[in-house]
Structure 1
């Protein structure tokens, strides 16, 4: 039985993860973290019968409360790095669904995880369709030199680009640096209109009402175009399912694995 702590347990995705863990026969919820609900039973907080798991105010408190195997984090960009490093220091594996961490952050986490002999699985998006977006895009980048990313999300989303788009750009840039046609330092007018550069890849973030989470990976060769799209709706269970796949398999990992697709398909 794998023992799970969920940080961000009362958030949109965290709630779905808690429900999924409680429904799983091979997983057990041993901790939940949400400062606003600290001290209450997490079942009652989520509108169900008590489950005997009190909500902790911090990840450190949850880790100290009893043995755990995996920390699942769906909190905030400014907090997640400290949470993961605290888990790793305690010998607890981590599954990271929170966006906002950079490649440099993950390099630091990887070094700490390897030193402790534990695994960390991090993905900008744990939906299976997003994993396939990454998998197919990495294949396309091996054959096509021109590509960019467009990231769509709700108007109030604080991070730009999204974790899905950032992770995809970092990984595509490791395959190859795309051909921009015109170097960015030769762009006239507003340089910012060409988007942000992440690992050599141009990423454009659109923030408007009506969007939940959409990422387009655009590839062109000659006069032909390929668009690979992940388009998420408003149901967080698509992320919970992939998160639990990672929680079950992270014990077989040492160091950081980036992307659910890497876990599923290798790479």
Structure 2
């Protein structure tokens, strides 16, 4: 049996779609311990009772400030973009490392977060999507961008998803921009008709966000060269279970560096 102390975890958004699945899974691990949770709807309750789990009391708080009165090593951020940044910066100031699963934070947000992480000598691992298939898509897309001239991203999600583009699409567009800058054959400015139909320019990549019933989450990158194209696509089902394995990896690896890293593959041997 390992003598290493358990990694103490707080989940912001612990009763949500992805957060609740992660909370349930943590209770079955030997090296992780869920010590607190954030959920405004269930504040003041015991998370074990809310999610029908077994074990000792896991208090649920309404705010990050209250939750961090219970010492923890890692905050897993699974809420909404309008509060996520505050959660992350507050945790860093309290000496807590952060794993980010929330969509909608901008490159500018991450620039500020990276500065604060270095300032407090803490770490932030920002993961647009914890699914291993998305990690591989990102890696394959970076390789393809080295050899293919142009690409665009299609971001699919359910009709109720409020942020567009998704965190996964933002992360992929950012990563492709680090490979090289592409030049459109016809610039958006020279496009005739309704320019908005060409999508949004995100770090030099045209991104199209579909929000329709029937979709859960999907991400597609289409690469084009004369007389050939390459299509890379990830599709997710209704279950949030595929994200648990990646989240476990992120929680266990986030203390292995200082500052900000973007993408789960940055702590993997790929």
Give the TM interval when normalised to the shorter protein: over 0.9
Tell me which protein shows more helix as a share of its residues.
1
Partners of 2:73 and 2:178 in 1: how far apart?
Answer: 31
- Distance in 2 (CA, whole Å) between partners of 1:88 and 1:47 is 31
Contact 2:8/2:74, CA 8 A, preserved across alignment: yes
Match for 1:238 among 242, 258, 262? 242
Moved more, 167-176 or 191-200: 167-176
Shift of 1:16: 0.7
8 Å Cα contact 2:24-2:53 kept in structure 1: no
Between the aligned partners of 1:134 and 1:9, the Cα distance in structure 2 is 27
Pairing partner for 1:16 from 21, 29, 35: 21
The residue aligned with 1:110 is 114
5+ unaligned residues in a row in structure 2: which ranges? Answer: 1-5
Equivalents in 1 of 2:44, 2:211: separation in Å?
A: 36
Q: Report the Cα distance in structure 1 between the residues aligned to 2:25 and 2:65, rounded to whole angstroms.
A: 23
Shift of 1:192: 0.3
Cα separation, 1, equivalents of 2:266 and 2:207: 22
**Native 8 Å contact 1:44 1:50 kept in 2:** no
State which of 84, 88, 97 in structure 1 corresponds to 2:88. Answer: 84
TM-score by length of 2: 0.96
Q: TM-score, normalised by structure 1?
A: 0.97
C-alpha separation between the residues in 2 aligned to 1:131 and 1:153?
Answer: 18
For residue 233 of structure 2, what is the aligned residue in structure 1?
Answer: 229
> Which residue is 2:134 aligned to?
130
1:59 Cα offset (Å): 1.2
Counterpart of 1:2 in structure 2 is 7
Structure 2 distance, partners of 1:68, 1:109, is 19
Q: Hey, what does 2:59 align to over in structure 1? A: 54
Paired with 1:156 and 1:6, the residues of 2 have a C-alpha distance of: 23
1:160-208 CA-to-partner distances (Å, cap 9, x unmatched) read: 1111011101111121122311011101110000000100110011111
Does the CA-based 8 Å contact 1:5-1:32 persist in structure 2? Answer: yes
* Deviation >4 Å, runs of 4+: none
Q: Indicate which of 34, 49, 68 corresponds to 1:63.
A: 68
Specify every segment of 5 or more residues in structure 1 that has no aligned partner in the other structure, as ranges: none
Q: Counterpart in 2 of 1:198?
A: 202
Secondary structure class of the residue paired with 2:14: coil
| Count of residue pairs the alignment pairs up | 265
RMSD: 1.0
Contact 2:48 2:58 in 1 (8 A): yes
- Match of residue 139, structure 1, among 143, 151, 161: 143
